[in-house]
Copies of this chain bind each other. A is one copy, B any other.
Amino acid sequence: METRELRYFVAVAEEANVGRAADRLGIAQPPLSRAIARLERRLGATLFDRTPRGMDLTDAGLTLLREGRVALAAMEAAERRTRRTAQTPGESRIVLTAKPGSAGEVMVKLLDAYAAEPDAVDVEVVFSPPRHQALMLRDGRADVALLHRPFDDLSGFDVETLLVEDQVVIVPAGHPASQRTSMTEAEARSISDLPCPRWPEIDGSYPDGPGPEMRDLTQMVQLVRLGRTAIVLPESVQAYVRDGVAVVSLVDAPRVTTVLAWPPHSTSVGVAGLARTAARL
């Protein structure tokens, strides 16, 4: 199976429509139809059910979509890391990706401690949208990432735990709920006049729902102050909030673990050094 065929397949699977997929790929529709048919012939598997409204994935197609995305990410990672090795002889820089504002405190401590090491290399910090950190690690855009259990998918990475913390709910200062000293997660999510905000999906779209669309922490604090939402977050975000909001602890919410993660088999001395520093914190 060639990389191109697999990219074509993924495009068709995601669009559920050959014509739109062809547009996205920048080719005409007929060659794409043929490529899919040939791929099916070579695999000996029907990947799509053809309907009058488009293409429906079969079970085999679902398998290829799931496994194929992993394979494509691995191909991209191989390519990217090779380019970078060629361009930066001696490895003078590594890329760390994190969610903006996530565990800011621990990240500063980690980077400061690492920079003090004798053999430290430059660490370029790249902020990326929520949940994109693992993707960037998988496809080689980043060498190391700050991930959060249980939200991120840590499977396949080596990790070092940096911080374990409870979650809290942030409510408007004057709201009746602000009088409580603690509540359950279910209670926090069902305060009738304070709907939960909607976080973006991996593809950048927002799910349907009553809450506001959440983009960053600054905006979040404003929305809470305005009495538009209540938001469940790890307690370390208290560093970002000031007046106008109240913090109520949650009794049953899962703990959030912040970890430093990197691909197994990483040969980077920078990543190894950062991991060693993390283990000492």
Contacts and interface: CB of A to CB of B under 8 A. Distances in A.
Interface of A: 1-4, 6, 43-47, 58-64, 66-68, 70-71, 74-75, 77-79, 81-83, 85-87, 89, 140, 153, 155-156, 158, 264-265, 267
B3 A2 contact: yes
Contact of A67 (B1, B66, B78, B89): B78
Copy number in the complex reads 2
A85 B68 contact: no
11 contacts: A3-B75, A43-B83, A45-B86, A46-B86, A63-B82, A63-B85, A64-B81, A67-B78, A67-B81, A71-B71, A156-B156
A135 to B, nearest CB: 14
A78 B86 contact: no
Contacts of A83: 43-45, 60
A66 B140 CA distance: 13
A81 B1 CA distance: 13
Q: Which of A3, A82, A85, A89 has the most CB of B within 10 A?
A: A82
A265 B2 CA distance: 23
Contacts of A264: 153, 155-156
A9 to B, nearest CB: 10
Contacts of A6: 75, 78
B75 A60 contact: no
A206 to B, nearest CB: 25
A60 B86 contact: yes
A64 to B, nearest CB: 4
Nearest to A59: B85
Contact of A79 (B1, B3, B86): B1
A58 to B, nearest CB: 8
Given A66-B265, A155-B158, 20 more contacts: A1-B78, A1-B79, A2-B2, A2-B3, A2-B4, A3-B3, A43-B86, A44-B83, A44-B86, A45-B83, A59-B86, A60-B82, A64-B78, A64-B81, A64-B82, A67-B81, A70-B265, A71-B74, A74-B74, A155-B264
Contacts of A64: 78, 81-82
Contacts of A158: 155
A104 to B, nearest CB: 29
A67 B77 contact: yes
A46 B61 CA distance: 37
